[in-house]
Amino acid sequence: MNEFTNYDEISREKWQNLYKTSIAPLTKNELESIRSLNDEISLQDVQDVYLPLVHLVRLYKKNLEDMSFSKGLFLQKIVKTPPLIIGISGSVAVGKSTTARLVQLLLSRAFKKLSVELVTTDGFLFPNQVLEARHLLDRKGFPESYDMERLLQFLYQIKNGEHCQVPIYSHEIYDILPEQMQEIDNPDILIVEGINVLQSPQSQLIYVSDFYDFSIYVDANEAIIEKWYLERFDSLLKLAESDESNYYHQFTKLPYDEVVALARDTWAKVNRINLKQYIEPTRNRAEIILHKTDNHHVDKIYLKKF
């Protein structure tokens, strides 16, 4: 069976004609401000790919509101529409962070009166001290390195309209920031971005994906993702050259060939295995798959049939 049997494959050319608008609702500078390292994105991408995507999210939001109203009629009481939760997943270095920030910005423009929040599941990684105690530091990013029960509790609280606090992860120090939290106060729309967004926790009673109303998987050929990963690693080194507190500063002292070999080894022994065993198998849980080619160009969109 074809792995995309349950999806309609839509070319970029066809997709961009599904929703027409006169102009992208943001500037080139705004777009540049949300772009991640080594990610490529243009106003044309916004016009062709992301505005139709946001229009589709509008339909899911309307469906959620209609269902809450109908449920209220059935129960003979007022049922508040819960927050729309959007999950965005994909490999390390595939550009999902840029996608998440762009979707947040566009939804904020589309729903001017609604609050749109974004969290990353990096904040639910166990602190390095805990990972070291459990001999899991070399498995950072794998399912067991995340506090999935805490992530589940967070999503449950969000759906119930509760105020929440989320730990903040710093790539500069390669750890959870001590005593710093992101405040999430009953948003209308919540975007959750991370490699484990569509994965299942150990508990069989409830799954992370149970909370998502819409989900996106950012996809690309493995060889291309590896290339992007190596380019990003190189950019992180350049940023860390003059900052001794940066986790990547230690690697700037090594000969460049050794650093490149280390990055390739990390990809092969950590990120590639995580992608093949735990991330990519969740791809077909997504409502939308954005397929990228060179230069982060989205060439195809897969929309789940049912």
Helix ranges (H only) for 241-297 are 256-266, 272-274
**pLDDT value at 142 more than 90:** yes
CA gap 253, 262 in Å, rounded: 13
Q: What is the mean pLDDT of the chain?
A: 93
pLDDT band (50, 70, 90) for residue 23: low
Predicted local confidence at residue 255, as pLDDT: 94
Strands 84-90 and 7-11, by their bridges, are: unpaired
pLDDT band (50, 70, 90) for residue 160: very high
Predicted local confidence at residue 22, as pLDDT: 62
Predicted local confidence at residue 210, as pLDDT: 84
**pLDDT value at 59 more than 90:** yes
**pLDDT value at 121 more than 70:** yes
**pLDDT value at 20 more than 80:** no
What residues pair up with 182 in beta bridges, in sequence order? 166
Predicted local confidence at residue 231, as pLDDT: 94
pLDDT (average), residues 78-84: 95
Predicted local confidence at residue 241, as pLDDT: 92
Predicted local confidence at residue 38, as pLDDT: 79
% of the chain exceeding 70 in pLDDT: 97
Tell me whether residue 94 is annotated as binding.
yes
CA gap 206, 19 in Å, rounded: 36
Q: Which of 39-43, 89-93, 140-144 has the lowest mean pLDDT?
A: 39-43
pLDDT band (50, 70, 90) for residue 303: very high
**pLDDT value at 202 more than 60:** no
pLDDT band (50, 70, 90) for residue 129: very high
Work out the burial of residue 266: count CB atoms within 10 Å of its CB; fewer than 13 is exposed, 13-18 middle, 19 or more buried.
middle
Predicted local confidence at residue 39, as pLDDT: 86
Tell me whether residue 97 is annotated as binding.
yes
Work out the burial of residue 165: count CB atoms within 10 Å of its CB; fewer than 13 is exposed, 13-18 middle, 19 or more buried.
middle
Predicted local confidence at residue 36, as pLDDT: 83
Tell me whether residue 93 is annotated as binding.
yes
Looking at the domain 7-304, which fold is it? Rossmann fold (3.40.50)
Predicted local confidence at residue 37, as pLDDT: 77
**pLDDT value at 204 more than 70:** no
Which residue type sits at 228? W
Tell me whether residue 87 is annotated as binding.
no
Tell me whether residue 92 is annotated as binding.
yes
CA gap 10, 301 in Å, rounded: 5
Predicted model pTM: 0.95
Closest CA to 304 of 5, 72, 101, 74: 5
Tell me whether residue 70 is annotated as binding.
no
Domains in the chain: boundaries: 7-304
